[in-house]
Structure 1
Amino acid sequence: MDRQHGLASSLRELKQQRAREALVEAAHALFDERGFERVTVTDIAARAEVGRATFFRYFGDKQEVVFADVGELDAAMAEAARIPSGGPIGASMPAALAFVRAVVVSYMLRLTAEPDTYARHERLVDSHPELQARSLIKQRRYAEALRGLLEDRGAEHETAAMAAEIGLAAFYAGRRIAGNDPERLPGAVEAAFDRLT
């Protein structure tokens, strides 16, 4: 009975993952074809061949679809949890920044692994103020996740808060230096961290 329940649960999860991916793909295709403003939730659901209720099971609004890479952050954070830190960080800013650097660069490599997808996403966000605002909210989530990881590694609260914010600043500096070119971005972020030390 337990095996049957486990199989049914796995199939349900796979179906949910496929529905979510179909919604994301449909949304981006429609954004490319019509522009962000001219696409409705109904359009996205119809293109993905699901109902509106299914859309709202996964996303609060069409802006959320643009930022569907949250799973990438979660995967990067899980990966970061396995990065050795050489013992508790405590008040050591160099140790905290070394850890943050590893996390941020790893995340950048994930985000830019498909340069065309990354560039398309950035163009879309840059051309809509409401998406820029949502992006800033997401960036705060990244900073909080970094702070939490640092504290889990034994960093003092002040050290964790400062290192997380500096990591975010290095990311933004790298974006500026690289012109947000996905091919150059990870190296530019590394260079920004180099300048800090």
Structure 2
Amino acid sequence: MDRGRQAESSLRERKQRRAREAIIEAAHGLFAERGFEGVTVSDIAERAEVGRATFFRYFGDKQEVVFADTGELQEVLAEALEVPGSGPIGDSLPAALALVRAVVVSYMARLTADPDAYARHERLVASHPELWARSLTKQRQYAEALRDLLAGKGANAETAALGAEMGLAAFYAGRAIAGDDPVLLSSAVESVFDRLS
């Protein structure tokens, strides 16, 4: 690809990222102001200064915006893949849990970096059954991503499945221990992993 096409592609990608971020920001602002039910896709598009077609290019519905992934999980998973290991995990549950712990704790730290935003998100999800259901589906996807990460690091199928599920369980237990307080969540999850090891 020549320089002109690269610059054009880069500019297009930046514009797309800005449009997506504007939609997310507009949606969350409107949800905070009017409540989830009081906001339509048209409201979000208008606030973000994009058309409805642009909204639907990035999101299937307004529920999807609530769970918009800003790429943080993918970044954490990519970082975990880059960590040099002493060899394939194989059937070593302690090795699998060490990797899962690093991923889950790092992801929790990113999610709770803005405690107020995290708390608003959790309140919004908890107050709407349809969002709660979507949240559970998303969490299953996280478990699958952890399982794939472990398999990519050489864990056998049983160890990958067990490590991934224990990672998700550590998150649930940490959330219960912290009372879902974003300030306490990362350390609570760490303490659960300490108990597991």
| Structure 1 length-normalised TM | 0.97
1:108-147 CA-to-partner distances (Å, cap 9, x unmatched) read: 1111111111111111111111000000000011000000
Where does residue 83 of structure 1 map in the other structure? 83
Where does residue 21 of structure 1 map in the other structure? 21
What are structure 2's unaligned runs of at least 5 residues?
none
- Contact 1:85–1:99, Cα closer than 8 Å, also in 2: no
Where does residue 43 of structure 2 map in the other structure? 43
What are structure 1's unaligned runs of at least 5 residues?
none
For residues 165 and 56 of structure 2, the distance between their equivalents in structure 1, rounded to whole angstroms, comes to: 33
For residues 116 and 82 of structure 1, the distance between their equivalents in structure 2, rounded to whole angstroms, comes to: 31
Query: Do residues 119 (structure 1) and 119 (structure 2) align?
Result: yes
DSSP-derived class of the 2:190 partner: helix
Where does residue 174 of structure 1 map in the other structure? 174
| Amino acid in the other structure paired with 1:187 | S
Q: Displacement of 1:69 after TM fit? A: 2.5
For residues 53 and 123 of structure 2, the distance between their equivalents in structure 1, rounded to whole angstroms, comes to: 29
For residues 196 and 43 of structure 1, the distance between their equivalents in structure 2, rounded to whole angstroms, comes to: 46
1:1-197 alignment to 2 at 5 Å? 2-197=2-197
Q: Displacement of 1:79 after TM fit? A: 1.5
| Amino acid in the other structure paired with 1:143 | A
Q: Displacement of 1:80 after TM fit? A: 1.5
| Amino acid in the other structure paired with 1:40 | T
Task: Give the alignment's Cα RMSD to 1 decimal.
Answer: 1.0
- Runs of 4+ aligned residues of structure 1 deviating over 4 Å after TM superposition are none
- Contact 1:85–1:95, Cα closer than 8 Å, also in 2: no
- Contact 1:170–1:189, Cα closer than 8 Å, also in 2: yes
| Structure 2 length-normalised TM | 0.97
Matched-pair identity in %: 74
